[in-house]
Amino acid sequence: MTSQYKLYPYRWVVLAVFMFINLTIQILWISYAPITGPAAQFYGVTDLQIGLFAMSFMIAFIPLSIPVSWIIDTYGFRIAVGIGVILMGIFGILRGLAGANYTLVLWSTFGLAASQPFLLNAWTKVPANWFAIEERATAVGIVTLGNLIGTALGMVLTPILLESMTIPTIQLIYGSIAAFSAVLFLIFARETPPTPPCPPGGEVRALMLDGLKHSFTVKPFWFTLLVSFIGLGIFNGITTWIENIIRPRGFTPTDAGTLGALMIVGGVIGAVVMPALSDKQHKRQLYLYIAFFGAIPGLVGLTYATNATLLFVSAFFLGFFLTSAMPIAMQYAAEVTQPTPEGTSNGLIQLFGQGAVVFVYIMEALKSADGSFTPALLLAIGLLLVSGFFVSQMKDLKELSTPK
Type of residue at 160: I
pTM for the predicted model, two decimal places = 0.75
CATH number of 7-398: 1.20.1250.20
Domain borders along the chain are 7-398
**Mean pLDDT of each 10-residue bin along the chain, 404 residues long:** 68 93 94 90 92 89 86 90 96 95 96 93 82 77 81 88 94 97 95 74 51 79 89 87 87 86 87 85 89 94 91 94 85 81 71 77 85 91 93 79 50
User: Distance between CA atoms of 276 and 282, rounded to whole angstroms?
Assistant: 10
**pLDDT (0 to 100) of residue 127:** 83
Please list the helix, strand and coil fractions of the chain in percent, rounded to the nearest 5, in that order: 80, 0, 20
Residue closest to 306 by CA, chosen among 225, 250, 359, 368: 250
**pLDDT (0 to 100) of residue 404:** 43
**pLDDT (0 to 100) of residue 403:** 47
For 200, phi then psi, to 5°, come to -55, 130
**pLDDT (0 to 100) of residue 2:** 44
Per residue, the 3-state secondary structure of 106-131, as one string, reads HHHHHHHHHHHHHHHCCCCHHHHHHC
Q: Do 224 and 349 contact (CB within 8 A), yes or no?
A: yes
